[in-house]
A and B are shown apart, each in its own frame.
Chain A
Amino acid sequence: MAKKYIGALLHLGMNMWSRREVEYTKSVGGYHYKLACQKDEWIALTEEMARLGMNLLLIDMAEGVRYDSHPELAVEGSWSKEEFKADLARLRALGITPIPKFNFSLGHSAWLKDYAYMAGTDTYYKVCEDLIREVCDLFDGPEFFHLGLEEEEYGSQASFPIIFIRNVATKCRDALRLFDICRDCNTRPWIWVDPNTIETFGGEEEFCRIVPRDVLLSNWFYGCCYNGPRMPEDVSPRCYLYKKIGEWGYDQIPTTSNWGNEFNAKQTMDFCKRYVEDSITGYMCASWLETVHDYHYGNVDCLYNLKYAYDDVYGEEK
Chain B
Amino acid sequence: MNLKPFKSIVLYLGSNFWAQKDCTFPVDPEEFIYRDKLFCDKNTWDEVVKQLPEFEIDTLVIALGEGVVYPSHPEIATSGAWDTEDFKNELKKIRGMGIRVIPYNNFLPFHNAWMGKFAYMAGTPAYYDFCCDIVRDVIDMFDTPEMFHLGLGDEGYNSKYYTSDSRNFTMIFARHIMCEYANMLFDICREKGVRPWIWADRKSIDGFGGDKYFCDHIGRDVLLSSSFNENPIGIFMKDGKAFVGDTVSPSALHYNKLSEWGYTQIPAITRRVHPRSPQTVMEYTSLTCDNIDGFIMQTLALTVPRKYYAVMNSVQNLSVSYDKVFGKGGTLNG
Chain A residues near B240: list those with CB within 8 A.
22-23, 25, 27-28, 30
Is A159 engaged at the interface, CB distance under 8 Å to the other chain?
yes
Is B37 engaged at the interface, CB distance under 8 Å to the other chain?
no
- A-contact bits for B288-330, CB 8 A (1 contact / 0 none): 0000000000001100001101101101110010001000000
Nearest-Cβ distance from residue B143 to partner chain A, whole angstroms: 32
Assess whether B310 is in contact with A26, with CB atoms less than 8 Å apart: no
- B-contact bits for A299-312, CB 8 A (1 contact / 0 none): 01100110010000
Is A84 engaged at the interface, CB distance under 8 Å to the other chain?
no
Is B165 engaged at the interface, CB distance under 8 Å to the other chain?
yes
Assess whether A298 is in contact with B27, with CB atoms less than 8 Å apart: no
Nearest-Cβ distance from residue A43 to partner chain B, whole angstroms: 18
Q: Which of B66-74, B218-226, B273-281 lies at the binding interface?
A: B273-281
Assess whether B237 is in contact with A27, with CB atoms less than 8 Å apart: yes
Return the contact of A260 from the options B30, B272, B307 (Cβ within 8 A).
B272
Given contacts A30-B240, A158-B234, contact A227 B27 (CB under 8 A): yes
Given contacts A30-B240, A227-B160, A262-B310, contact A298 B275 (CB under 8 A): yes
Assess whether B316 is in contact with A262, with CB atoms less than 8 Å apart: no
Q: How large is the interface on A (under 10, 10 to 19, 20 to 34, 35 or more residues)?
A: 35 or more
Is B271 engaged at the interface, CB distance under 8 Å to the other chain?
yes
- A-contact bits for B230-251, CB 8 A (1 contact / 0 none): 0001100100111000000000
Chain A residues near B271: list those with CB within 8 A.
298
Q: How many A-B residue pairs have CB under 8 A?
A: 86
Is B191 engaged at the interface, CB distance under 8 Å to the other chain?
no
**CA A159 – CA B238 in complex, angstroms?**
9
Is B206 engaged at the interface, CB distance under 8 Å to the other chain?
no
Given contacts A227-B161, A308-B306, contact A301 B313 (CB under 8 A): yes
Is B155 engaged at the interface, CB distance under 8 Å to the other chain?
no
- The total of chain B residues at the interface (CB under 8 A) is 36
Assess whether B27 is in contact with A300, with CB atoms less than 8 Å apart: no
Assess whether B27 is in contact with A304, with CB atoms less than 8 Å apart: no
**CA A288 – CA B324 in complex, angstroms?**
19
Is B28 engaged at the interface, CB distance under 8 Å to the other chain?
yes
Is B31 engaged at the interface, CB distance under 8 Å to the other chain?
yes
**CA A228 – CA B24 in complex, angstroms?**
10
Return the contact of B309 from the options A23, A227, A289, A300 (Cβ within 8 A).
A300
Return the contact of A298 from the options B233, B234, B306, B313 (Cβ within 8 A).
B313
**CA A305 – CA B233 in complex, angstroms?**
25
| Centre residue among A30, A158, A262 by max chain B CB count within 10 A | A262
- A-contact bits for B100-124, CB 8 A (1 contact / 0 none): 0000000000000000000000000
Assess whether B26 is in contact with A304, with CB atoms less than 8 Å apart: no
Is A261 engaged at the interface, CB distance under 8 Å to the other chain?
yes
Assess whether B237 is in contact with A298, with CB atoms less than 8 Å apart: no
Is A248 engaged at the interface, CB distance under 8 Å to the other chain?
no
Is B56 engaged at the interface, CB distance under 8 Å to the other chain?
no
Assess whether A228 is in contact with B312, with CB atoms less than 8 Å apart: no
Given A26-B324, A27-B324, output 12 extra A-B contacts at Cβ < 8 Å.
A27-B240, A30-B240, A227-B160, A227-B161, A228-B26, A262-B300, A294-B316, A297-B316, A297-B317, A300-B309, A301-B309, A304-B306
Enumerate 10 A-B pairs (CB-CB under 8 Å) in ascending A order.
A22-B240, A30-B240, A158-B234, A262-B300, A262-B310, A289-B275, A295-B320, A297-B313, A301-B312, A305-B310
Q: Chain B: residues with CB nearer than 8 A to chain A?
A: 26-28, 30-31, 160-161, 165, 233-234, 237, 240-242, 271-276, 279-280, 283, 300-301, 306-307, 309-310, 312-313, 315-317, 320, 324
Q: Chain A: residues with CB nearer than 8 A to chain B?
A: 22-23, 25-30, 158-159, 224, 226-229, 234, 258-263, 266, 287-289, 294-298, 300-301, 304-305, 308
